[in-house]
Amino acid sequence: MSKRPYVTIDGNEAAAYIAHKVNEVIAIYPITPSSPMGEWADQWTAEDKTNIWGTVPLVVEMQSEGGAAGAVHGALQTGSLTTTFTASQGLLLMVPNMFKIAGELTPTVFHVAARSVAAQALSIFGDHSDVMATRQTGWGMLCSNSVQEVMDFALIAQAATLKARVPFIHFFDGFRTSHEVAKIEQLTDDDIRAMIDDDLVIAHRARGLSPDTPFIRGTAQNPDVFFQARETVNIFYQKTPAIVQEAMDTFAGLTGRHYHLFDYVGAPDADRVIVMMGSGAETAHQTVEHLVEQGEKVGLVKVRLYRPFDAEAFLASLPATTTKVAVLDRTKEPGGSGEPLYLDCITAMVEGERSGLKIVGGRYGLSSKEFTPGMVKGIFDELAKPQPKNHFTVGINDDVTFTSIDYDPGFSIESPKVVRALFYGLGADGTVGANKNSIKIIGEDTPNYAQGHFVYDSKKSGATTVSHLRFGPTEIRQPYLITSANFIAVHQTIFLERYDVLAQAAPGSVFLLNTYVNKDEVWDSLPRVYQEHLIRKNMKFYVIDAYDVADKTNMGGRINTIMQTCFFAISGVLPEDEAIAAIKQAIKKTYGKRGEKVIQQNYEAVDQTLAHLFRVPVPADVSSTVELPSMVPAQAPDFVQKVTAEIMAGRGDDLPVSLLPIDGTYPSATTQWEKRNIALEIPIWDPDVCIQCGKCALVCPHATIRIKAYPEEELAGAPESFRSMPYKGKEYPGWMYTIQVAAEDCTGCGACVHVCPAKNKREPRFKAINMEPQPPIRDRERENYDFFLSIPEIDRRNVNTRQVKTNQLLQPLFEYSGACAGCGETPYIKLITQLFGDRTIVANATGCSSIYGGNLPTTPYAVNSDGRGPAWSNSLFEDNAEFGLGMRLTLDKRLEYAIELLKQNAELIGLELVDGLLTADQSDETGIYDQRQRVAALKQRLASLNGAAGLKQLASLADILVKKTVWIFGGDGWAYDIGYGGLDHVLASGRNINVLVMDTEVYSNTGGQMSKATPRAAVAKFAAAGKPLPKKDLAMIAMSYGNIYVARIAMGASDAQTVRAILDAESYDGPSLILAYSHCIAHGINMTTANDQQKKAVDSGHWPLLRYDPRLVANGKNPLQLDSRAPKMPLRDYVYNETRYTMLTKTKPQHAAELLTLAQEDVTSRWHLYEQMATLDYSDES
Amino acid sequence: MDLTTTYMGLSLKNPIVPSASPLSYKLDNIRRMEDAGAAAITMYSLFEEQLDFEAASLTHFLDYGTESFAEALSYFPEPYEFNLGPDEYLEHIRKAKAAVDVPVIASLNGISDGGWIDYATRIEEAGADGLEINLYFIPTQLTLTSSEVEHVYLDVLNNVKAHVNIPVAMKLSPFFSAMPRMAAMLDDAGADALVLFNRFYQPDMNIEELTVGPRLVLSNSDEMRLPLRWIAILYGKIRSSMALTTGIHTSEDVIKAMMAGADIANVCSVLLQNGVGHVSTLLTGVTRWMEEHEYESIDEMKGSLSQRSVPEPAAFERANYMKTLQSYSGLN
């Protein structure tokens, strides 16, 4: 038996490692937090890594989890060892197949990173609501509590399923376990072979469908036999627990780690016992051990095998002395008599005639809510009461139905031998990557055990990361965040004005700050609360100007290795020279593939660091008068003050139930209150150069470049630095014009500056808008922006919406989103809200646009001064077209009913008013304005007719008489893959809906997996060797219906065509589909200049601009109009500006060349086809 | 007729050598140049800066946006192997060596001491018969002295010579204050050849867009007179071989280069214009001219119109300039 190595990996990698070793076919689909399992499997297959039988598993990406389950089912039925990985809604999409797979007694293991199922809101974080929703499918369910257990149970499950013929879900907590990096013992191929019986594998294969030994499976059965047939499997379920235990016993013989169906920890004579499963059981385990040492008679039963539930084994695991049991569920079953595990335990006790036990159920940890030793102790304390609360919650303050129990948040059982370190970084500075390396160094180069857990931001730009690292001489069972740290590093000074991070500092701990401020002046620059912590807690204070070191060593903004070196130097976990050698080794491992120069730069940064690291003496007295600013201004609404601001401050955990909306309904327009100040530089307008084209505002992804035209008198009271110039153009004679930046909301992407066509004639490096450092002008520009906002918005009736110059004067109703800096999607959304936002309902597919559109704490859809704005909702990933259609159906039906009521009550209401309402022309803003006036008059009239029959109904429907527009937003993963069937159906419905597909040509939100929109030759996850097949032509498919308005647009190539297409689509009384080229960081491009890439995409023929307007046929015109010219540059001149293409030239140059040739042929032949279609004669069709 | 010549210690069958350019990107082109009669092949340049840029750019974009957002901790698959170093170039040299019998001269443009040495060593290991140092260097800093500029060249040469055994040629800028002194110093430092001159592409201006950018203009025969003059002046005064590059378009241009004292004539623009097969046209022309003028060997004409051999050596100095001006006056 070969020696087992220790590896430092996360739970996903641990599961994928076993899955790849014991399967032949793997069908996958990305969903957080399970996506990395599929990515690992795909990567290992790409690297020709074999399973234990010496063959490389086949990995295939499907169009949805439903598709993956279908493919798995088919592969299983033909005898392959097959698996998949999923979570949350993805698992639920597999349920129908899971019933089939179990009904057919098919061995397989699905590995699930358990995640919340969306209810009042989506959540990507961990709980058991997904796996619990599948417990009726007939699958075995085995739960891992830690990264080591993930690897162990993945194998035990595989061994058991082959013997039992019962399929298994092997699950573990999303993020807490799936993403926790820990030092574990890796199982070897010999271990795996020892666990897997080849005869069972062959038996499984023999049961597969084959024309050589034909049979049928999957018949339709009737009332006469279905029931009996369903009962045939009972024997298999009866045997399964023993088979699992047998596998656990065999495993123990190999590794020494002996698991049981139910593992008991604690006092042998415990009177109070907690029953639970998942990572929280690790916390409970450690807490129980601590409490037992204190003399308490408490215990814990860890449920390993949840299905089939072996009641006998469960009861046997409870000490005979037990009098009270708390069963904890990490899920909620509203309206049920209890949560699932609790009910199972109750049933076991009743059936096992274990009387005299008091058993209560409780909920904890939903959506990765922290579960701490204090909470465990709180539960035991509750159990100690004569009448412990049943159906309790722990970890929240339920001040409405009073389910929550008390606990001491300060209760800690952290071992003094364990070092606890916190690192506050920005996503862009590489902090997390460096900490992952540090964990590996500590885990693999020292005898220490190590744990790393990483907390990410809800925003995609300027994202804060917090790394929680623990290491120490014994195994670390602490799956909860650090609240008392020995070491706190702040990698960006901006955090000092956002958070009181030293509140988490332990006495005598270290504070390391990266700052531009000189070491001799830094003390005085600290906020008062920081000085207080440093003094009161007797802390050691270190500073480094890591940006200076990074600059000197050509590291750009990457300060990761510099700060990592400081950590090792200060912490002393390794002797300095050994630490530096280990860091360099990690650098070589991380960057080795990327060239010697990159390695040397990092080495240089490491070598330069220590000379720039200084310890700052901590004075005895506080000198600072700098206070932490409040999260939101005083004028923010009450809800924002009480709820939103608390979430922003990192105190969302403390919000009581009573303050949260009951049904997931939140106020619009809250991003305006979150001033993130993340831009180092912001654009400043130069009126002397400006030509007033409006392009800067159009391309701004965050609506932080605003334009207004206004009468000169509005300038009264303007701040001295407020800029303005006369409006150029005949639309608004005598008016003034201003372009103003929202300084504190801008992300500093620079897209506005790049697209500005006007140059300063004296110094062409300057344009009409130029980047300047933000901090020195923050206050000035804040005042300017406040004044700008106070200028009245332009009357929409007076705006030519077809011109960018004028439509950019319209108020955007989508602002300051959390999208990436330079995002290519958001400018389209923003434009739509400018054009129709005050009468738009949005159905948004899950993905980037639902995250930057709806992720708390603040959301970007805004309202105008009349209180109108986009109404927005997200249903799921796969159903968005149908969701939007449902909205349309409501509007259509409501309008129909309103018209009926108007007609029925015409004389009562007034014939003239009714006639006006019914015959209104709402094709432009004037028509819409006039209709709004009529509706207001109608409401007044209805109010005056109080009590008349049917009029109350009409009053509630009146607003529908103003034209409403339904927009269905989503990305290519939705439109081309998972939602395609629904999209097709909705487009074919003939209903007046508008679909905007923001096509990034890859699954952006889950990290760059291939979709059917991915072009040939582009590299993506699941297409590491370049996508071998061409992109699906969704426009062509839609055009084939003949009655769908179709447009392909790219704002960076033609803003005029973009505007035209969006207006045309909205005006078309039928289904419209707009495919919008959306550059993305997943393309590996400079986001500042990305609009140039849009132009190249068009000029090369990759993205031909077109509009297909069915209305033209009636006039004898060809409905297809090509809005771009024949390709005028080779495809290579477009694609080889993007890393997604160039990286293949660095990995497989020959293959890249071949794919490029084919991709060029794709472009050429498609253009020829379009040309022919666009020149067809329709003159006889009118 | 003997067309052979010796350049940087390499015996060549004739003096026509394609210079470093995209002409050598494809193996097929290299074969065709040999077939057309090229005496050696100078490979396109390996640019250390470009390799560094590619690696840095790849690293930047692979890392950009990673580890920031919980759902997307990365955006690209991490391949287990990147071909980012000079491997592709070295492999190309190996293939070129296997494909042709004529000498293959590599061309290197480094930016760091380590890069020059590392890449030069690996180029030698790949089998190159010689190495041309392509030091494309425009000194723009006000504080940089002419002496410092000279030492940039000398330091690179010394570094490379200390680490490789194949002959090394220095491709020079025409902008030295004291060209003969510079040539002598390089000669003393062991340069096996001097290549005169690097033809720096001059940027152009777009007055509509208010931008400055590169614009490729191919050379013409008139441009060869600058290197022609300096080769004629240096001939016989230094030990190093000399290559004349820039402006050789005709057989007569090749003859002139030889008569000035060059050991080879580098050709590029003329091949870009007429195809690589044009080498044979040039060679045929040289042979015919030599036959018509009864020259038996290249060696016979080499340096025959150099400064030391012509009856009026001052023609290569200021007097030449005065005479040119006077010739314009005469026209008026």
**Between A710 and A495, the higher pLDDT residue:** A710
Distance from C-alpha of A195 to C-alpha of A197, rounded to nearest angstrom:
6
What total of structural domains would you count in chain A?
6
Active-site residue (options: A32, A670, A1088, A1091): A32
Q: E strand or H helix at A155, and its extent?
A: helix A147-164
Q: Are A235 and A163 in contact (CB under 8 A)?
A: no
The pLDDT value given to residue B320: 56
- Please identify, among A810, A830, A857, the residue that sits at the C-terminal boundary of a domain: A810
Residue A970 in any domain: the answer is: no
Total number of residues shown for chain A: 1182
On whether both A1018 and A1135 belong to a single domain, the answer is: yes
Q: Does A1142 touch chain B (CB under 8 A)?
A: yes
CB contact under 8 A, A1005 and B72: yes
Q: Which domains does chain B have, with CATH numbers?
A: 5-303 (3.20.20.70)
Q: Indicate whether A355 pLDDT > 80.
A: no
- Tell whether B46 lies on the interface with A, counting CB pairs under 8 A: no
- In chain B, residues with a C-beta closer than 8 Å to the C-beta of A1004 are 72, 75
Shared-domain flag, residues A365 and A221: no
Q: Are residues A1081 and A1006 in the same domain?
A: yes
Catalytic residue among A84, A115, A882, A1166: A115
Same domain (yes/no): A244, A280: no
A1033, part of any domain: yes
CATH number, domain of A791, equals: 3.30.70.20
What is the rounded average pLDDT of the residues A1033-1061? 98
CA distance A684 to chain B (A): 21
Answer yes or no: do A1084 and B61 touch at CB < 8 A: yes
pLDDT of residue A614 exceeding 90, the answer is: yes
DSSP string, A116-134: PPPSSS---S--SHHHHTT
Q: What is the least distance, in Å, from the CA of B158 to any CA of chain A? A: 23
pLDDT tens-digit profile of A750-768?
A: 999 999 999 999 999 999 9
CA distance B79 to B100: 35
Angle ∠(A1148,B127,B158) on CA atoms, nearest 5 = 110
Q: Quickly state the pLDDT bin for A494 (edges 50, 70, 90).
A: confident
What is the band of B325 on the pLDDT scale with cuts at 50, 70, 90? low
- Classified as helix, coil or strand, A470 is strand
Quick check: B96 and B104 in contact, CB under 8 A?
A: yes
Pairing of strands A1120-1122, A1106-1108: antiparallel
The answer to whether residue A735 sits within a structural domain is yes
Q: How far apart are CA A72 and CA A52, in angstroms?
A: 20
Same domain? For A376 and A426 the reply is no
Q: Tell whether A1147 is within 8 A of chain B (Cβ).
A: yes
Q: What is the pLDDT of residue B84?
A: 76
Neighbours of B314 (CB within 10 A): 12
pLDDT in tens, A379-411: 999 999 999 999 999 999 999 999 999 999 999
Confidence at A679, pLDDT banded by 50, 70, 90? very high
Q: Do A433 and B79 touch (CB under 8 A)?
A: no
Question: Which residues are within 8 A (CB) of A427 and not within 5 positions of it... i.e. 6 or more apart?
Answer: A456, A457, A463, A464, A465, B65, B66, B67, B68, B69
Q: Which residues contact A811 (CB under 8 A, 6 or more apart)?
A: A793, A834, A837, A864
Total CB pairs under 8 A between chain A and B: 153
Domain containing residue A356: CATH number: 3.40.50.920
In this predicted structure, what is the pLDDT of residue A1061? 98
Q: What is the pLDDT of residue A436?
A: 92
Peptide bond into A471 cis (omega under 30): no
Instruction: Tell whether A500 and A562 lie within a shared domain.
Output: yes
pLDDT digits 0-9 by tens, B85-109? 788 899 999 999 999 999 999 999 9
Q: Which residues of A touch B78 (CB under 8 A)?
A: 43, 593
| Interface touch B72/A1004, C-beta < 8 Å | yes
Give the model's pLDDT for residue B324: 57
pLDDT at A671: 97
- Environment class of B304 (CB within 10 Å of its CB; exposed 0-12, middle 13-18, buried 19+): middle
Contact map slice: A 104-133 vs B, CB within 8 A: 124
Question: Domain end: A961, A982, A1015, which one?
Answer: A961
Q: Do A1006 and B71 touch (CB under 8 A)?
A: yes
Average pLDDT for A1153-1157:
97
B-chain residues near A33 (CB < 8 A): 70-71
pLDDT at A1182: 62
ipTM of the complex: 0.93
A338: left (phi over 0), alpha (psi -120 to 50) or beta: left
| Residue A830 covered by a domain | no
Q: Predicted confidence band at B323 (pLDDT cuts at 50, 70, 90)?
A: low
Catalytic residue among A86, A1005, A1058, A1091: A1005
Taking the C-alpha atoms of residue B74 and residue B58, their distance in angstroms, rounded to an integer, is 14
Which pLDDT belongs to residue B321?
58
State whether A452 and A390 are in the same domain: no
Q: Are residues A1110 and A1159 in the same domain?
A: yes
Of residues A428, A456, A594, nearest to B59 (C-beta): A594
Q: Count each helix (H run) and each strand (E run) in chain B, helices first.
A: 12, 12
Instruction: Please indicate whether residue A1005 is annotated as part of the active site.
Output: yes
Prior bond to A726 cis, omega within 30? no
pLDDT value at residue A380 = 98
**Model confidence at B209: pLDDT above 90:** no
Chain-chain contact of B72 with A1007 (C-beta, under 8 angstroms): yes
Per-residue pLDDT at B330: 45
- Residue A95 is predicted with a pLDDT of 98
* B162 near A CB under 8 A: no
Residues A799, A33: Cα–Cα separation, whole Å: 46
Among the partner residues A32, A556, A1085, nearest to B70 by beta-carbon distance: A32
User: What's the pLDDT at A392?
Assistant: 98
**A35 lies in a domain?**
yes
pLDDT confidence of residue A465: 94
What pLDDT band is residue B314 in, cutting at 50, 70 and 90? confident
Could you report the per-residue pLDDT of A842-889, keeping only the tens digit for each? 999 999 999 999 999 999 999 999 999 999 999 999 999 999 999 999
pLDDT of residue B322: 56
CATH label of the domain that carries residue A77: 3.40.50.970
- Considering chain A, what is the average pLDDT of its residues? 96
Q: Are residues A366 and A488 in the same domain?
A: no
Average of pLDDT values for A1117-1131? 97
Please identify, among A746, A776, A810, the residue that sits at the C-terminal boundary of a domain: A810
Residues 6+ apart with CB under 8 A from A841: A870, A871, A872, A887, A891, A964, A965, A966, A967
pLDDT of res. B332: 39
CA distance A1097 to chain B (A): 19
Residue B327 predicted with pLDDT over 60? no
Evaluate whether residue A548 is within a structural domain. yes
Worst-scoring range by mean pLDDT, A147-151, A453-457, A670-674, A964-968? Answer: A453-457
Q: What string of H, E and C letters represents the secondary structure of A91-113? A: HHHCHHHHHHHHHCCCCCEEEEE
A65 given a catalytic annotation = yes
Name the residue among A408, A330, A328, A325 with its Cα closest to residue A365. Answer: A330
pLDDT at A1 over 70: no
CA distances, A1062 to each of A294, A845, A1057 (Å): 69, 19, 9
Does one domain contain both A277 and A240? no
Let me know: does A289 contact A184? Beta carbons within 8 Å. no
In this complex, the residue of B61, B67, B71 whose CB is nearest that of residue A32 is: B71
pLDDT (mean) for A1140-1164: 95
Contacts of A1008 in chain B (CB under 8 A): 72, 74-76
Q: Which of A1007, A1020, A1022 minimises the CB distance to B71?
A: A1007
User: Are B67 and A556 an interchain contact pair (Cβ–Cβ within 8 Å)?
Assistant: no
List chain B residues with CB under 8 Å of A428.
64-65, 68
Q: CB-based contact (8 Å) between B55 and chain A?
A: yes
Distance from CA of B299 to the nearest CA of A (A): 45
The percent of residues above 90 in pLDDT, for chain A, comes to 91
Average pLDDT value for residue range A1103-1130: 97
Say yes or no: A61 contacts chain B, CB-CB below 8 A: no
Q: How confident is the model at residue A537 (pLDDT cuts 50, 70, 90)?
A: very high
Domain residues for A306?
260-394
Q: Is A115 a catalytic residue?
A: yes
Q: Which residues pair with B241 in a beta bridge?
A: B193
CA separation for the pair B275, B284 (Å, rounded): 16
- Both tokens assigned to A578: 């050994």
Q: In this structure, is residue A388 part of a structural domain?
A: yes
| Mean pLDDT, rounded, for B249-255 | 97
pLDDT digits (tens, 9 = 90+) for A262-288: 999 999 999 999 999 999 999 999 999
The residue-averaged pLDDT of A552-571 equals 90
For B212, nearest residue in chain A (alpha carbons): A764
Q: Residues 61 to 100 of B: which have CB under 8 A from any A CB?
A: 61-85, 88
Shortest Cα–Cα distance, A483 to chain B (Å): 21
Q: What is the least distance, in Å, from the CA of B119 to any CA of chain A?
A: 12
A 596-625 residues with CB < 8 A to B: 596-598, 600
Residue A644 domain-assigned (yes or no)? no
Chain B residues within an 8 Å CB radius of A124: 70-71
Axis crossing angle, helix B278-292 with helix B27-36, rounded to the nearest 10: 20
Quick one: pLDDT at residue B59? 87
The alpha-carbon gap from B173 to the nearest alpha carbon of chain A, in Å, equals: 28
Same domain, A343 and A468: no
With an 8 Å Cβ cutoff, is A1140 touching chain B? Answer: yes
A1087 and A954 part of one domain: no
How close is the nearest chain B Cα to the Cα of A309, in Å? 33
